[in-house]
Amino acid sequence: MDTLPLSSLVPGAKAVVADIRVPVEHRGRLLEMGLLVGTTVELVRLAPLGDPIEIRIRGYNLSLRKHEAEQVMVRQGR
């Protein structure tokens, strides 16, 4: 199954994190917040101009900048 950027999901869509391509110096923050490969995420909403985006992960909501979300690759359909 193909991967796509987290930022390309539509509100309400769920997917599983397949790869995190965020630079190493910023990856630690995302990992500490629970954004790990294999974790299910749901896109909750986009800001009016598309940045930031809000996702639900592990029972809480997390906001990510669009450029970060574009580097988190997900698989839908699970």
SS3 61: strand
pLDDT of residue 11: 93
Q: Where is 28: in which H helix or E strand?
A: helix 24-32
pLDDT more than 70, % of the chain: 96
Range of the domain at 36: 4-76
Quote the CA–CA distance of 56 and 58 in Å, as a whole number.
7
pLDDT of residue 1: 62
Quote the CA–CA distance of 25 and 14 in Å, as a whole number.
27
The angle at the Cα of 13, spanning 10 to 19, to the nearest 5 degrees, equals 95
The pTM score is: 0.85
Question: Which CATH number do you get for residue 53?
Answer: 2.30.30.90
pLDDT digits (tens, 9 = 90+) for 20-43: 998 888 888 888 888 899 999 999
Residues in the chain: 78
The angle at the Cα of 26, spanning 17 to 36, to the nearest 5 degrees, equals 25
State the total domains in the chain: 1
